[in-house]
Every structure is written in structure tokens, then in C-alpha cells.
Amino acid sequence: MDAVQSDAEYDFILLDFMMPGATGLEILAWVRADSRRAETPVIILTAKGQDTDREAAMAGGADDFLTKPFSPKKLVARIREILDAD
């Protein structure tokens, strides 16, 4: 949370769905409400593969949602696709 609240600028944000102190969805909402970061691409990772979690993340403004375990190559490919689209 400290990193997201800092004045630093980010090209990309990678969140876990379940984190100590705040959920990935809570941080995603904060990011989307912050005019400096509202357009920053976000991927949420999770060990929970429920459709409702994916739907909540995508409705909250996530650019993608990956369920663990996943291939690191898949993650890198998705990050590149999202960054290249901007």
C-alpha cells in the first residue's frame, strides 16, 4: 500500500487478490480513484479461481486477472500485451 500511496510513477501495477492489510480489490479501487494512476494498467493475481472474483476484479478496472499457478511466460506475455496496447 505504501508504494501505491507514494508520489512515484508506475508504468504497470501487479497486485495479489489477497494481501495483508488490504485486498487487491481495495488497492485497485484506490488506484482507479487516483487521477495520477487511474490509467495505469493493473493485473491481479490470485489463488482463488472463482468466476465472481474475476468478475469483481474486471468490474473494478483490472486489465487482467490470472489464477495461480500460471506460467511466468504467460504473465510476461500479458504484461507486454497490455503495455504495448497503451
Which CATH code of 3.40.50.970, 2.30.30.40, 3.40.50.2300, 3.40.640.10 fits the domain covering 10-85?
3.40.50.2300
Q: Is 33 helix (H, G, I), strand (E, B) or coil?
A: helix
> Nearest CA to 30 among 61, 59, 52?
61
**Model pLDDT, residue 46:** 92
CA 62 to chain centre: 5
CB 54 within 8 A of CB 35: no
Residue 31, strand partner residues: none
> Cell triple for residue 85?
496496447
Q: For 1-58, write each residue's pLDDT tens digit.
A: 566 667 788 999 999 999 888 999 999 999 999 989 999 999 999 998 789 999 999 9
Q: How far apart are CA 86 and CA 83, in angstroms?
A: 5
